[in-house]
Amino acid sequence: MADIQMKEKSGKKGLRRPKRRLGIRIDMTPMVDIAFLLLIFYMVTTIFAAPQAMEINLPPKQDDTTSAEQHKVKKSNLLNVWVEKNGDFYYQIGNELRSKSDMVVPWKIPADSIRDLFTRYNWDRPQLNTLFIIHPEAKYSKMVDLLDETEVVEALLRNNQEYVKAYLAANPKETAFSFRYALRKWDDKDNKTFAKIPGYSSGGGL
């Protein structure tokens, strides 16, 4: 609000009437109240940090009477991906060899090649299942990177009609393509598997 104050100029100049000057003073109190009300409103309604959550598609609940045969996966359709404790990625599928002189052991793969690996094997094997084995001392971010890559590959293959057609033909019980994967704890069996890799040292990689 504003107040208007009347001021008269002192002194006389003949018979002329002195001019009256207006003094204006603005009351800032209501504006301060409004500013605090707005501040409180934005503090109450604003989300300062959005919760970080990862969306994971869980398999449907199975009955206890489900046959164990339904859960069996051929070795040639199982892609194993390991994350060593130093953050390196390894993979193995079936008894695949790179040459006749090679051993059936996990192969090291760069992090930037994971997406191509998933895309290639899912394309060649419509019934592929991927198993992630994470070392307990590996960084959590490495697992997040793997799950992010599965989402990217799933989106790419779902938009490819040729692949979706082949996938549905190989999996008649399903109605859409889904990147099938599972997580498993690192155990002594994995330590023995990595001990067979020529030149591998625990924690130091190749």
pLDDT tens per residue, range 96-134: 766 555 677 888 999 999 999 999 999 999 999 999 999
Strand partners, 183: 132
Question: Confidence band (pLDDT; 50, 70, 90) for 178?
Answer: confident
CB 87 within 8 A of CB 138: yes
Question: Confidence band (pLDDT; 50, 70, 90) for 68?
Answer: very low
Helix axes 140-158, 161-170, angle to 10 degrees: 100
* Domain range list for the chain: 75-195
Strands (E), 59-140: 78-83, 89-93, 107-109, 129-134
